[in-house]
Amino acid sequence: MSDNKYSLEFLLEMYRKMVLIRQFEDRVKFLFLEGIMPGTIHQCQGQEASAVGVCMALNEDDVITSTHRPHGHAIAKGVSIQSMMDELFGKITGCCKGKGGSMHIGDLDKGMIPAVAIVGGNIPLATGAALAFKMRKEKRVAVSFMGDGATNEGAFHEAVNMGAIWNLPVLYVVENNLYGASTPVGMVVRTKNISDRAAIYDIPGVTVDGNDPIAVYEAAQEAVARARRGEGPTLLELMTYRITGHSRRDPALYQPKDEKQRAKENEPIGRFRKYLVGNDLTSADVLDKIDAEIEEEIEKVVVQAQKAADPKPEDALEDMFVESI
Amino acid sequence: MKRLGIAEALREGIRQEMARDERVFCIGEDIAIPGGWGGAFTVTLGLEKDFPDRMLNTPIAENGFMGIACGAAMMGLRPIADVQYSDFLFCAMDQVCNNVAKMRYMSGGKAKVPMVIRAPVGVTGRGSQHAQNMETFFMPLQGVRIACPATAYDALGILRTAVRSDDPIMIFEHKLLYGSKGARAESGAFDASSDIPDEDYTVPIGKAVVRKEGKDITIIGTLLMMHRALQAAEQLEKQGISAEVIDPRWLVPFDLETVRKSVRKTGAVMTVEESAKQGGIGAEIVATIVEEMSDDLKAPPIRLAAPNTVVPFAPPMEKFYIPQVEDIVDAAKKLLN
Ligand SMILES: Cc1ncc(C[n+]2csc(CCOP(=O)(O)OP(=O)(O)O)c2C)c(N)n1
Ligand SMILES: [Mg+2]
């Protein structure tokens, strides 16, 4: 992490967004485990820096696609947490009117295509968005977030190759949290780094500490600049760790205890706090105050979401087509 | 004799088949990771301890591993390939439809593809992409057989039949019927456990079973809908209507004879299914019944199905989507009036 390059305001914004994601996720986990929230969830505690670092390098009109684990990406891209919480509760006021649920969170008005829960399925979509930007000569960029596991799908290889041959303004952002569901990445990928795979498509591939939001931001910024210059895609591998279960009530017994312990010590928010306070950039009090404000904000959001109206059963029949015949 | 749920019965069946025949192996995602779940619904939990070399954990690559299983099957092995949710079969569509189903035919009967494909179905609060009852999509496919076990007894018998068959067989299992335990337990689960005999029984290909006898109306449904049909039949009984419930167990080949016998008796028939009506299983079954047994029918059959829409997430819409017991009761009464 480099000193003095960024304004305090910028750094605190980074911190605030990461904490917003963490608290949102922790609250959702509680609501879910208490049986108050319906459906199933995949959460991103421990992976906040990648969502925030990447999205802070984007403009509002840039577009992202996400996965079954989309909450952090959505918050980082600016989707309203009220509309997300409403969606998770299946309310008509949700960002997908209760039709999508956790795994399909998104809001095109904020530059987020509804998340795709089919692993790898979102990678061609981001590539297609980038194709549209290029064909229309717009200076916009598309980002496909994905997990390490997704890079073994055919969809990944097909899309990255087309992104490469057509020099599309797209970032392939791999959040390598060392597991695809319960499967350790080393069991299903031979190369040392997933970014090594970029070479066979002749695009840059970089591996970055994904729990350092500034390192992520800088790598993303460079890739975004390249894409905007018309020089094509970058494969960005962000090393991170999911400090919660894969989904639902997963106790993650396949993760070795010492590895889990190390990951907790290396989680991005605690680290960033240490960095900010340790370098006298701000005080713990200032950060605690941010935490408290967010807690209050989320409390309000939950109360309002629970009060929001349910869709009518027959609403299930709406929204399939643009034109009614 | 012991009492098992579907997940346990399948696990037992896979274990026995692997012990009996060393050509049998399992291939799929997260199926045998120490400390893991034994696939998405615990079916293969712990099997890696017994068969460390025959439980293949794959990368997330459905089209690839389905084709690999097909290739291995043609060379004489007997793979059991599973996807975590049947929706992911779309990713493997090419291998399943173009190769698994057609290799034998295209080779003029020389190739054999003794392969089992297992896939969980059902609408369970997960939204549009983890909800589809994919058996519907394979109805027009020529070259695979399709089973839908609704009880643990059938699950084990069908699994044995499928592993021992020289042809590709797809087994669609229902998430709410597995009886998965622990962290993988499903909310809204339905008890489909059975007393499992000790002997090595099988469920013959293409044989339906009459789950409840009746004389006024025939209700045909598989998986969760079969159980709902039984509940509906109980309610109908109280209202003086005697419903016969048929569980086809196999959609392909379909046991028309069992249905014919029933329709001869009742003269009224309805199908129940958990996916959209358009081009569905009911469409196929009812069309066949009308073609073959119109003389026996006293009233036009009813296809009770989900509405023609995508599976929604929010609970009130999801409930509206899935045929409920009351819907079956109402439809039966409407048909008989
Ligand atoms: C095509 C497909 N196959 C399998 C799954 C089931 N599944 C959901 S998440 C997951 C693991 C994904 O791993 P990774 O890409 O590393 O993302 P992570 O969960 O670690 O964020 C699997 C196998 C799926 N949703 N889609
Ligand atoms: Mg992963």
ipTM of the complex: 0.96
Choosing from B196, B220, B238, the residue where a domain stops is B196
Predicted local distance difference test score (pLDDT) of residue B247: 98
Per DSSP, A192 falls in state S
- Looking at the domain assignment, is residue A311 inside a domain? no
Q: Could you tell me the two tokens for A222?
A: 């460079």
pLDDT for res A325: 85
H-only helix segments in chain B = 6-20, 47-50, 62-74, 93, 103-106, 135-138, 152-164, 223-238, 256-266, 281-293, 315-321, 325-336
Q: Choose the catalytic residue: B78, B130, B160, B211.
A: B130
- Name the residue among A97, A28, A89 with its Cα closest to residue A305: A89
- Domain with A177, as residue range(s), is 8-300
B214, B174: one domain: no
- Per the CB < 8 A criterion, the answer to whether B61 and A156 are in contact is no
Cα→Cα distances B61→A118, A180, B52, Å: 11, 12, 21
Q: A254-260 long-range contacts, Cβ below 8 Å, gap at least 24?
A: A254/A179, A254/A182, A254/A184, A254/B33, A254/B34, A254/B35, A254/B36, A255/A179, A255/B35, A259/A178
Q: Is residue B320 part of a domain?
A: yes
Is B128 found in the same domain as B10? Answer: yes
Query: Beta B2-4 vs B194-196: how paired, if at all?
Result: antiparallel
% of chain B with per-residue pLDDT over 70: 100
Q: What pLDDT score was predicted for residue B39?
A: 95
Considering the domain boundaries, does residue A318 fall inside one? no
- Give yes or no for a contact between A175 and A47, defined as CB atoms under 8 angstroms apart: yes
pLDDT confidence of A3, banded at 50, 70, 90? low
pLDDT, tens digit (0-9, with 9 covering 90-100), for B37-86: 999 999 999 999 999 999 999 999 999 999 999 999 999 999 999 999 99
**pLDDT for res A324:** 86
Q: Which two tokens stand for residue A278?
A: 């340790």
Cα separation, A28 vs A182, in Å, equals 22
- Of A39, A181, A320, which is closest to B313 when you measure between CB atoms? A39
Regarding whether B164 and B122 lie in a shared domain, the answer is yes
pLDDT score at B184: 82
Where are the alpha helices (H) located in chain A, listed in sequence order? Answer: 8-33, 48-55, 71-77, 81-88, 122-135, 154-165, 185-188, 213-228, 257-265, 268-278, 284-307
Structure confidence at residue B181 (pLDDT): 83
Confidence of residue A289 (pLDDT cuts 50, 70, 90): very high
Q: Which tens digits make up the pLDDT trace of A60-92?
A: 999 999 999 999 999 999 999 999 999 999 999
Up-side HSE of residue A175: CA atoms within 13 Å toward CB?
Answer: 32
Domain presence at residue B13: yes
Residue B297 has pLDDT above 60, yes or no: yes
Number of domains in chain B: 2
Q: Are A99 and B128 a contacting pair at CB < 8 A?
A: yes
Both structure tokens of A189: 């990928």
Residue A325 inside a domain? The answer is: no
Please state, in angstroms and rounded to a whole number, the distance separating the CA atoms of residues A301 and A290.
16
Q: Does B172 share its domain with B81? A: yes
pLDDT tens column, A149-185: 999 999 999 999 999 999 999 999 999 999 999 999 9
Question: Same structural domain for residues B226 and B145?
Answer: no
Q: Pull the structure tokens for residue B17.
A: 């088949």
For the cut 70, the answer to whether the pLDDT of residue A2 exceeds it is: no
Instruction: Inform me whether the pLDDT recorded for B132 exceeds 70.
Output: yes
- Please give the angle made by the CA atoms of A87, A264 and A101, to the nearest 5 degrees: 10
Q: At B31, which CATH number?
A: 3.40.50.970
Structural domain boundaries, residue B179 = 2-196
The two three-digit tokens of residue A178, written as one number = 């060392």
Looking from the CA of residue B40, the nearest atom of ligand 1 is 6
**Which positions 94-113 of B are in contact with A (Cβ < 8 Å)?**
none
Q: What was the pLDDT predicted at A272?
A: 98
CATH number at residue A16: 3.40.50.970
Left (φ > 0), alpha (ψ -120 to 50) or beta: where does B329 sit?
Answer: alpha
Is B99 part of any domain? yes
Q: Measure the CA–CA gap between B296 and A127, rounded to whole angstroms.
A: 57
Number of other CB atoms surrounding residue B189 within 10 Å: 17
Instruction: Give domain status of residue B202, yes or no.
Output: no
The domain spanning residue B324 has which CATH number?
Answer: 3.40.50.920
Same structural domain for residues B221 and B311?
yes
For the whole prediction, is pTM greater than 0.90? yes
Strand order across the B78-82 sheet: B55-57, B24-28, B78-82, B116-121, B169-174, B145-147, B250-252
Which phi and psi (to 5°) does residue A63 adopt?
A: -125, 140
Is B204 inside any structural domain? Answer: no
> Does one domain contain both B215 and B323?
yes
Mean of pLDDT values over B226-238: 98
* pLDDT surpasses 60 at B91: yes
Q: Which residue has the tokens 């969980």?
A: B120
What are the residues whose beta carbons fall under 8 Å from the beta carbon of B80, sequence distance 6 or more?
B14, B17, B24, B25, B26, B27, B115, B116, B118, B163
pLDDT tens digits, B173-227: 999 999 988 888 888 899 999 999 999 999 999 999 999 999 999 999 999 999 9
CA distances from B47 to A278, B20, B72 (A): 50, 14, 20
Q: Do A189 and B320 touch (CB under 8 A)?
A: no
Residue B201 lies in a domain: no
Q: Is the CB of B319 inside 8 Å of chain A's CB atoms?
A: yes
Partner A contacted by B129 (CB < 8 A): yes
Q: Are residues B251 and B309 in the same domain?
A: yes
Residue B111 and residue B185 share a domain:
yes
Buried/exposed A303-317: b ≥16 CB within 10 Å, e otherwise: eebeebebbebebbb
How much of chain A exceeds pLDDT 90, in percent? 97
Q: Given A91, A96, A187, which is nearest B57 (Cβ)?
A: A187
- How high is the pLDDT of residue B187? 85
* Domain final residue, candidates B137, B166, B196: B196
Q: What's the CA gap between A194 and A182, in Å, rounded?
A: 18
The mean per-residue pLDDT over the stretch A187-197 comes to 98
Nearest CA to ligand 1 atom 22: A181
The percentage of residues in chain B with a pLDDT greater than 90, rounded to a whole number, is 97
> Across the interface, which of A40, A90, A253 has its CB nearest the CB of B314?
A90
Interhelix angle for B281-293 vs B256-266, to 10°? 60
| Residue B41 confidence (pLDDT) | 95
CA distance A115 to A174: 15
Q: Please give the distance of CA A45 from its chain centroid, rounded to a whole number.
A: 11
Residues A15-27: tens digit of each pLDDT: 999 999 999 999 9
Q: Say whether both B20 and B141 belong to one domain.
A: yes
HSE, CB side, 13 Å, CA atoms: give it for residue A172. Answer: 38
Ligand 1 lining (C-beta closer than 6 Å) = A 68-69, 117-119, 146-150, 177, 179-181, 246; B 29, 60, 62, 84, 88, 91
Single out the residue of A129, A131, A132, A96 nearest to residue A111, CA to CA.
Answer: A129
Report the distance separating Cα B240 and Cα B215, nearest Å: 11
pLDDT at B236: 98
Whole-angstrom distance, CA of residue B42 vs CA of residue B125: 19
Question: Are the CB atoms for B195 and B223 separated by under 8 Å?
Answer: no
Residue among A40, A119, A172 whose CB has most ligand 1 atoms within 8 A, to mutate: A119
Q: Tokens 């095109």 correspond to what residue? A: A108
Establish whether B130 is a catalytic residue: yes
For residues A162 and A131, give the distance between their C-alpha atoms in angstroms, rounded to a whole number. 10
Same domain, B279 and B138: no
Residue A1 belongs to some domain of the structure: no
Compute the distance between CA of residue B160 and CA of residue A93 in angstroms, rounded to an integer.
49
Tell whether B175 and B289 lie within a shared domain: no
Alpha-carbon span A102 to B234, nearest angstrom: 37
Query: Among the three residues B156, B174, B196, which one is the final residue of a domain in this structure?
Result: B196
CA dihedral for A201, A203, A209, A212, sign (positive or negative): negative
For chain A, how many structural domains are there in total?
1
Q: Is the dihedral of CA A148, A154, A160, A161 positive or negative?
A: positive
Which DSSP string do the residues of A226-278 spell out, in sequence order? Answer: HHHTT---EEEEEE----S-SSTT---TTS-HHHHHHHHHT-HHHHHHHHHHH
| pLDDT exceeds cutoff 90 at A1 | no
Q: Is B234 on the interface with A (CB under 8 A)?
A: no
